[in-house]
Structure 1
Amino acid sequence: MSDNQGLNIGVPKSSSYLTTSTLLLMAIATGLCAGANYFNQPLLNSIALSLGVSEGLAATTVTLSQVAYAVGLLFLVPLGDKLEQRGLAVGLMLIAAAGLLISGYAHNFSMLLLGTLITGLFSVAAQTLVPMAANLSDPQRSGRAVGLVMSGLLAGILLARTAAGLLSEVDGWTTVYRVTAVLMLVLAATLWLILPKARNPHPKSYAATLKSLLALAITYPRLRSRAILGGLVFGSVSVLFSTMALLLSGPGYHLSDSQIGLVGLLGIGGVITANLAGRLADRGRGQVVSTFALVLLLLGWLGLYLGLGNLWLFLLPLLLLDIALPAIHISNQSVIYRLAPEAKARVNAVYMTVYFIGAASGSALGAAAWSHGGWGATCATGMVLGALAWLVLIYDQRLLKREVKER
């Protein structure tokens, strides 16, 4: 079945495939949407001081943004198989920009929570653009197209901390929210002008669409295994993301918002990895990528524990986690998109919902571990989630072998 089945534009001719420049613009848009949920991570201390709340309460914005994103993935992204996809993506971006403006002008914590909730819920526009990139690209290079767009998404997640930290030094912690809102409005308008219309010619009702998500999860065991694998890995890394600013701004490091933000530049290693992982997935080496990434994840956590108190010994294992996260994610998507090519948006919704439930859970577990056991408990939590991911990968390998035998 064609990757482009279900779009009113039919199977694109080679001349009508999305160009690299269009894919790059989609990558920037996905990065901006996804990254908007991570600006608060290096700013927790500044937010707490500015709004008169504790650091622990300020840290709840990290979990809230990820929970809201997971809800949006479950209830909004499936609309990509029902509504016109360009209009859906642009509409979601416009509402997310409104959420950013609320956060950018927040004068109390409740207002920040509202802005965070709206931004998290509607920034799932990023996840409507990823399956569009797969559907509207050359089928022989769809892995590369997804890898390119996902590079933007992961760049947004990994580098949002840098942008937030640096802009915080310019005019306070609200600056990044205001600037990003304007950029998102500009990108939404540009995407409306350059993206083709794409719609499923036989859309289901919304209720039927939601029911189909459960049906997809039941029908495809590897969708379940890869979704859980992604959730555990993102949860493990989120343990670090939700506590890193508290560690680096405290005794032993005493870093400012901008300095903590600069640490996020290590995320460029993950961006490069995403593109490479996409190319390897096209060559059928997704399992090798997954295994290698999990090795890096566990080594990274071990290094973070042993390197406590030394910034340079902290940065190298941080880089390993930044590389492991996108490598696993891209290899996961290379698997799930092949399961039901006619339902990419819904398959993506199932996967990404579990993915961000894992992230939210990791953030909450990380904050709890930090509060009750300090850095040692935090590292132990991250390693436990990584070990569970190993077990899921072993199970997924068995499922793959079973699929090969049945062919």
Structure 2
Amino acid sequence: MGLTTGRRTVFAAVCAVAVASIYAAQPVLARIGADLRVPDAALGWIVAAGQLGYLAGLAALVPLGDLVDRRKLIAAHLLLTAVGTGLAAVAGQTWLLLTGLVLAGLFAVVVQTTVAYAAALSTPDERGRTLGVVTSGVVLGILGARVAAGALAELWGWRGVYVVLAVLLATLAGLVLRTMPPDPRREGTTYRQVATSLGGLFREPLFLSRGLIAFFLFASFGTLWSGLSLPLAAAPWNLGTAQIGLFGLVGLAGALGAARAGRWADRGHASLVTGGALVLLAASWLAIGQPSLWLLALGVLVLDFAVQAVHVSNQHLLTAARPDRTSSVIGGYMIFYSLGSALGAATTTTAFAAAGWTGSAVLGAAFAGCAFAVWAWARAGARRQLLRTP
């Protein structure tokens, strides 16, 4: 079967715009806070709101991908994400903004349905390549949103960012219906069966270890990107939103540089790529914590390369182990991602308020060290199991 380049591109675009609806607030947090009178220490909850909605969607909505036509499901979720961003655009009070962001996050799990669908449509020898391309769209949305949001906020204010997202999401819904193949599903499987089997994944060593790695990986990632605008907007740098958004380009370059991680995984090197990338992740915080924009940019580049390499390797291993349940396994894995991202978003602003950017850097490095410890523990366990096997 396989996937054409055009369809991979559409899948990547869906992921980019959907995930941007969660992360677009990050470069404009200071503006949102000033407009809605939110204190600095509480700004992290604006980003965490989308992550918590995302978490609920992972548990409740992603399993639907194993039951219904994913083409129609993707289109419907894109439209509902557009409703959430529309609410955020018109919010005059903090509670309405948070409601819109939770709703957008809830249905932005279309990203995981899309990744699972792309993996299911791929042949085994191209699955890693496909995941590399499609998850590059995720990274484009996470990091490119910072550049676009910063520029749009200079032109139309922070509300204009969410108006543009709503329009793009609705447009992509129509494009998916026109370009993607039908996705007939097997009869007889119920939502309860799929949801129950999702819970069973948490007892599998591979799933649990890769999920815990993702939890700490994205806690470290969220520590950087949910807090970075605060030191950059303050003295001595005093950067504007457009300038802060440019750091997204640096991160994007690093993440796209790791697109070959999927090909490395296809060749059987996923575990080694994970370990090496986690070492780079921890090392990146040494540069990020320094009072230099050049070192900060270098650290951002390395951090995003490491995060993308680990993320692609994780998903490759999990979908290869469960090719018959790609939606459920990706959805379950991303629960760890969402919890980790929310933890990083909520704690980095608190650390910054208490100890400045140095506090945030120590926090991010600690999360990276925890991810490496899980990888080392899982690798040692796999070796012990191999020695016990006759």
Normalised by the length of structure 1, the TM-score is 0.92
Q: CA deviation at 1:54?
A: 2.0
Work out whether 1:136 is the aligned partner of 2:118.
no
Work out whether 1:368 is the aligned partner of 2:350.
yes
Q: CA deviation at 1:255?
A: 0.4
Work out whether 1:89 is the aligned partner of 2:74.
yes
Partner residue in 1 for 2:363:
381
SS at match of 2:321: coil
SS at match of 1:37: helix
Q: CA deviation at 1:203?
A: 4.9
Work out whether 1:67 is the aligned partner of 2:41.
no
95-104 or 373-382, larger mean C-alpha shift: 373-382
Work out whether 1:323 is the aligned partner of 2:305.
yes
Q: Tell me the distance in 2 between the aligned counterparts of 1:180 and 1:404.
A: 49
360-369 or 72-81, larger mean C-alpha shift: 360-369
198-207 or 176-185, larger mean C-alpha shift: 198-207
Work out whether 1:239 is the aligned partner of 2:223.
yes
Partner residue in 1 for 2:39:
54
What aligned pairs does 1:81-120 form with structure 2 within 5 A after superposition?
Answer: 81-120=66-105
Partner residue in 2 for 1:8:
none
Q: CA deviation at 1:55?
A: 2.6
Q: Tell me the distance in 2 between the aligned counterparts of 1:116 and 1:395.
A: 36
Q: CA deviation at 1:396?
A: 2.0
Question: Deviation digits for residues 161-191 of structure 1, max 9, x if unmatched?
Answer: 1111010011111111101111111111010
Partner residue in 2 for 1:252:
236
Work out whether 1:338 is the aligned partner of 2:308.
no
Letter in 2 for 1:369: A
Asked if structure 2 preserves the Cα contact closer than 8 Å seen for 1:155 and 1:267, the reply is: no
Q: CA deviation at 1:208?
A: 2.1
Q: Tell me the distance in 2 between the aligned counterparts of 1:247 and 1:236.
A: 17
SS at match of 1:196: coil
Partner residue in 1 for 2:144:
159
Question: Deviation digits for residues 23-78 of structure 1, max 9, x if unmatched?
Answer: 11110111110111011101011111122322333331111111111111111101
Partner residue in 2 for 1:283:
267
Asked if structure 1 preserves the Cα contact closer than 8 Å seen for 2:259 and 2:308, the reply is: no
Letter in 1 for 2:337: Y
Letter in 2 for 1:231: F
Q: CA deviation at 1:398?
A: 2.5
Partner residue in 2 for 1:302:
286
Q: Tell me the distance in 1 between the aligned counterparts of 2:161 and 2:119.
A: 31
Letter in 2 for 1:158: L
Asked if structure 1 preserves the Cα contact closer than 8 Å seen for 2:42 and 2:349, the reply is: no
Question: Deviation digits for residues 176-213 of structure 1, max 9, x if unmatched?
Answer: 11011111111110101111121431453222221111
**Structure 2 gaps, min length 5:** none
What aligned pairs does 1:173-192 form with structure 2 within 5 A after superposition?
Answer: 173-192=158-177
Give the share of equivalent positions with the same residue, in percent.
Answer: 35
Q: Tell me the distance in 1 between the aligned counterparts of 2:187 and 2:208.
A: 26
Q: Tell me the distance in 2 between the aligned counterparts of 1:47 and 1:245.
A: 12
Q: Tell me the distance in 2 between the aligned counterparts of 1:380 and 1:53.
A: 25
Q: Tell me the distance in 2 between the aligned counterparts of 1:283 and 1:338.
A: 13
Q: Tell me the distance in 2 between the aligned counterparts of 1:403 and 1:286.
A: 18
Where has structure 1 moved over 4 Å in runs of 4 or more?
402-407
Letter in 2 for 1:210: A
Normalised by the length of structure 2, the TM-score is 0.96
Letter in 1 for 2:231: L
Asked if structure 2 preserves the Cα contact closer than 8 Å seen for 1:270 and 1:327, the reply is: no
Q: CA deviation at 1:403?
A: 6.0
Q: Tell me the distance in 1 between the aligned counterparts of 2:128 and 2:280.
A: 23
Question: Deviation digits for residues 319-371 of structure 1, max 9, x if unmatched?
Answer: 11111111110011111112211111111111001111111111122122112
Q: Tell me the distance in 1 between the aligned counterparts of 2:383 and 2:74.
A: 37
Count residues in correspondence: 389
Q: CA deviation at 1:404?
A: 5.1
**Measured at CA, do residues 330 and 261 of structure 1 come closer, stay the same or move farther in structure 2, by a change above 3 Å?**
same
**Structure 1 gaps, min length 5:** 1-11
Asked if structure 2 preserves the Cα contact closer than 8 Å seen for 1:31 and 1:154, the reply is: yes
Aligned counterpart in structure 2 of residue 396 of structure 1, from 378, 382, 390? 378
Q: Tell me the distance in 2 between the aligned counterparts of 1:253 and 1:321.
A: 22
SS at match of 1:342: coil
